[in-house]
Amino acid sequence: MSKLVIATRESRLALWQANHVKSLLEQRGHEVALLGMTTRGDQILDRSLSKVGGKGLFVKELETALEEGRADIAVHSLKDVPMDLPEGFALACVMEREDPRDALVSPKYASLAALPQGAVVGTSSLRRVVLLRALRPDLKIEPLRGNLDTRLRKLDEGQYDAIVLAAAGLMRLGLAARIREVFEPAQMLPAAGQGALGIETRAGRLDLIELLAPLAHQATWLAVSAERAVSRAMGGSCSMPLAAHARFSGEYLQISAAWGDPQGPADLVRASDASAVGNLAQAATLGADVAARLRAGGAH
């Protein structure tokens, strides 16, 4: 086909992700160009995402470029993609996942346990707020907005004792050396879709869906579909204090979820389940079942 255009945010991480997809498509003989864009999510840095419209602010401008024909596909961090896409759009491909875990970054302290009482920890995520409070209720958790480089700069300027970031972003940008501790899922459960890249297009572009099929990773797609089904059943917001993580053990998909009240006690509501999963519908059913268990346990 003629030249493919990828819509992407202009942060260093977003450009790495778009260039990664560009390289894979070029290896398959396609001519590819990037359309860099600044989104509302990138512009609004003085308020938490949960107060200004959620992570959908990171994708709306890219979807407009798709709708207007200025771009063919958009590459997203899947955890930034709303659980229900607008009518006329489709998630055409989910790629193999990078490390889905969270990471502690600190210039002075080697681990969460090493942080002194009352240490200031930065995060923009309500999920991380409730999980950190469950682990260390003594910490002072402060908002942290901006792209990955901005967050690291604020840490290095001394505004925080430590910050929590997705390990995948640090690894993709060659910054793994900044990681002091990686949290195992049992300790700090990841966000739905964390570490996975999703490629969005117009729903009617069957040519693009077929073209992107070789880049898809079925096990990742099934796992994140279950995770996103938990979030969808709990209200669909990327900005809620909810964690969901699934992984395969043989043919069984095992999923765990956790919910906490940012204004309430530090206790978490947890739920888990496992099932043989072979398609997206079965994955979604599994996720919805776990969400029902969360609600039965008091999550809302």
Domain positions in the chain: 1-95+196-216, 102-182, 217-300
0.75 cut: is pTM over it? yes
Predicted local distance difference test score (pLDDT) of residue 45? 47
pLDDT of residue 298: 93
In order, the DSSP letters of the chain are: ---EEEEEE-SHHHHHHHHHHHHHHHHTT--EEEEEE--HHHH--SS-HHHHT-GGGGTHHHHHHHHTTS-SEEEEEGGGS-SSPPTTEEEEEEPPP----EEEE-SS-SSTTTSPTT-EEEES-HHHHHHHHHH-TTSEEEE--S-HHHHHHHHHTTS-SEEEEEHHHHHHTT-GGGEEEEPPTTTSPPPTTTT-EEEEEETT-HHHHHHHGGG--HHHHHHHHHHHHHHHHTTS-TTSSEEEEEEEETTEEEEEEEE--TTS-S--EEEEEEEE--SHHHHHHHHHHHHHHHHHTT--
Average pLDDT over residues 146-165: 95
Residue 180: is it exposed, middle or buried by C-beta count within 10 angstroms (0-12/13-18/19+)? middle
Q: For residue range 158-217, what is the model confidence (pLDDT) as tens digits?
A: 999 999 999 999 999 999 999 999 999 999 999 999 999 999 999 999 999 999 999 999
Tens digit of pLDDT for each residue in 226-270? 999 999 999 866 568 999 999 999 999 999 999 999 888 889 999
Asked whether 101 and 167 are in contact (CB, 8 A), the reply is yes
pLDDT in tens, 33-52: 999 997 654 544 444 444 44
CATH of the domain spanning 1-95+196-216? 3.40.190.10
Is residue 269 within 8 A of residue 259, CB to CB? The reply is yes
User: What's the pLDDT tens digit per position in 12-31?
Assistant: 999 999 999 999 999 999 99
Q: Name the CATH topology of 217-300.
A: Double Stranded RNA Binding Domain (3.30.160)
User: For residue 1, what pLDDT band results from cuts at 50, 70 and 90?
Assistant: low
The residue annotated as part of the active site, out of 80, 99, 102, 161, is 80
At residue 300, does pLDDT exceed 60? yes
Indicate if 102-182 has the same CATH topology as 1-95+196-216.
yes
- Per-residue burial over 103-126, b if 16 or more Cβ lie within 10 Å, else e, is bbbbeebeebeebeeebebbbbbb
**What would the pLDDT profile of 96-133 be if each residue is shown by its tens digit?**
999 999 999 999 999 999 999 999 999 989 999 999 99
Q: Is 161 a catalytic residue?
A: no
* Assigned CATH class of 102-182: alpha beta
